[in-house]
Structure 1
């Protein structure tokens, strides 16, 4: 078959995969499903009221013809941005594919429909609940890294390096829970090896390819989990709290096609007092009998909280 014929078949197939799987395996969560996700995060990662971990990746593409600098990023290559949120089981609950320009993860999020709904409080998240074992009320929220703004429904780490132990423990607990989205991206890249090299097609077709892979990832993670991502394939935590790298990391070693998005800080506006208070309450909770995680003190003694 000719190149254009094969290209058309691939594009149609990717659209068919997305259309067939999106409704069941990529559907936007309902209020009760948000609650289920939060319960999974608390049970599996000991982080309360979390409904997802957010991150962004540059997906490298060949230079589009006559695109100028539209898809040329600050890292020095052409890419589209894959912004996603993952649940506690390494499945994507939201994806936004195709953004470009030299903007931060937070900037991409803010321009997406999901980010707009998050800022407006229209994601149909459950009503605020109390932290486990306490009477302290808190909203449900997502977890982002330092590239995202601190908002009432979006927590980010405490900035800086010379932090009090209380803040370092909070950062450790958040980084530990956020590993789900890093692993979700890693599993996706390890299983779908189109991500091992620059995608050689126009940006609009690359978007369809990425969306099809994401939908298949969720389908396989839900129906063939034991074979698709066995226990040794994902990161694990030892009895001492140290991270044991998953096998997916060996598969993607040396790959240059899916790389971290910009790490710059987002905007200059100060977080609201309510957002700062939510993070402070969580930091206090992680020191309480109801919220303590035994390994958090071991990690402090090791001198690192990036676990």
Structure 2
């Protein structure tokens, strides 16, 4: 009994000590907060607003009221290069986004013009310039720029994302994408080209460790994009940590789950041209993705036959639209080529806004920046005939693989290999390209 009483006394003593420690911590915190409040009251602002950042100097010397007016009047091409869009597109953007970013006039201080906010944001996206540098030319405080750039990007997304990047919701819409790949790139049944791009950013915070540090040895946020035959983004997943791979982000994405479970219906399998065997519709990607009936990728480079090299060329020819889309996107909005000094959330916001503007420009001005595309002037006529005659098709029936999906994917890839090497699917220039 004496032993139990002694243990109970020790427990009560320890509990009392913990309570006293918590009280000490609370007192220290209250004293710290009180000191902070006293210091803030004692501190006085040196300037309410610096004169060279005031509205009068801004209208007299700022880029928005001076240079942009001159460029619009005298050099439209330079205006387009400055904000990455023609004056007409800028005016449309301002008319639709302006009401979302307009602040209320008060007796406290006149708000910034929505046109100025839009121009500063577009110039940041176009050049990747830091806010501290931009304040000297635009005559706007850097902390103010950091606030309204996020607001403008969010307004662009809210206004345009459903219009310029609608995800297909039925088989007919997916069929339009597949028809585009068949007509432009001679690769049927393709629902889109998939690839990833690392967007550079600063280290998020001290506790992030290596989660944003990728195999290329820099911190990044991963952009995974699905692109149609006309270089427009159909779907994107932005925000994957740099340490993750393309396949990991794809496997965890909502789109893959929706397509594979039938929540987003895709066209039912049907025959390739000049054939009678049903083939599933699929996405195309590089070696990072797993080979499946709904995901096709090239053959491994080791020990390829001539027919496999031709298949790789044909698939890569269709798949490079996503590489070109990334190229156009980064060349138009060079903030994506710099190391963004933003948090991952702001990086996602800016990247999404850039993609919306990219799709908008592809819709409104499809020929702009076409010199960056790998276009081909070739004869796309096909030769009619039974391409299966005389060919050994056993590799479309018996294949080795770790699981059923992998084996079915290999069968489908072999079937496509035979098709692109047959009179029904071949193109006149494919032999000289390998």
TM-score category of the 2 structures, normalised to the smaller one: 0.7 to 0.9
Q: Which of 253, 273, 290 matches 2:407?
A: 273
Task: Say if 2:423 is the partner of 1:282.
Answer: no
Q: Partner of 2:156 in structure 1?
A: 17
Give, in whole Å, the separation in 2 of the partners of 1:59 and 1:117: 26
Q: Partner of 1:158 in structure 2?
A: 299
* Conservation of the 8 A alpha-carbon contact between 1:118 and 1:153: no
Task: Say if 2:226 is the partner of 1:85.
Answer: yes
CA deviation digits over 1:90-135, x for unaligned, max 9? 0000100010142321111111112322443443111111101221
Displacement of 1:175 in angstroms is 0.5
* Conservation of the 8 A alpha-carbon contact between 1:221 and 1:229: no
Task: Say if 2:187 is the partner of 1:53.
Answer: no
TM-score (norm 1): 0.84
**Structure with the higher fraction of residues in helix conformation:** 2
Give, in whole Å, the separation in 1 of the partners of 2:271 and 2:196: 30
Task: Say if 2:344 is the partner of 1:210.
Answer: no
Flag the structure with more relative contact order, 1 or 2, with Cα contacts below 8 A and sequence separation at least 6. 1
Matches within 5 A, 1:39-188: 39-66=179-206, 67-188=208-329
CA deviation digits over 1:40-90, x for unaligned, max 9? 101100001101000001110012222222211121111000000100000
Give, in whole Å, the separation in 2 of the partners of 1:269 and 1:26: 37
Unaligned runs of 5+ in 1: 242-267, 301-307
Displacement of 1:207 in angstroms is 0.4
Give, in whole Å, the separation in 2 of the partners of 1:201 and 1:29: 32
Q: Partner of 1:299 in structure 2?
A: 433
Cα RMSD of the aligned pairs, angstroms, is 1.9
Question: Structure 1's 292 and 240: CA in aligned 2 closer, same or farther, altered over 3 A?
Answer: closer
Give, in whole Å, the separation in 1 of the partners of 2:151 and 2:295: 36
Give, in whole Å, the separation in 1 of the partners of 2:255 and 2:304: 32
Q: Partner of 2:174 in structure 1?
A: 34
* Conservation of the 8 A alpha-carbon contact between 1:240 and 1:298: no
Displacement of 1:2 in angstroms is 3.5
How many residues end up aligned between the 2 structures? 272
Rg (Cα) greater in structure: 2
Give, in whole Å, the separation in 2 of the partners of 1:123 and 1:154: 16
TM-score (norm 2): 0.60
CA deviation digits over 1:114-161, x for unaligned, max 9? 232244344311111110122121111110000100111110111132
* Conservation of the 8 A alpha-carbon contact between 2:200 and 2:220: yes
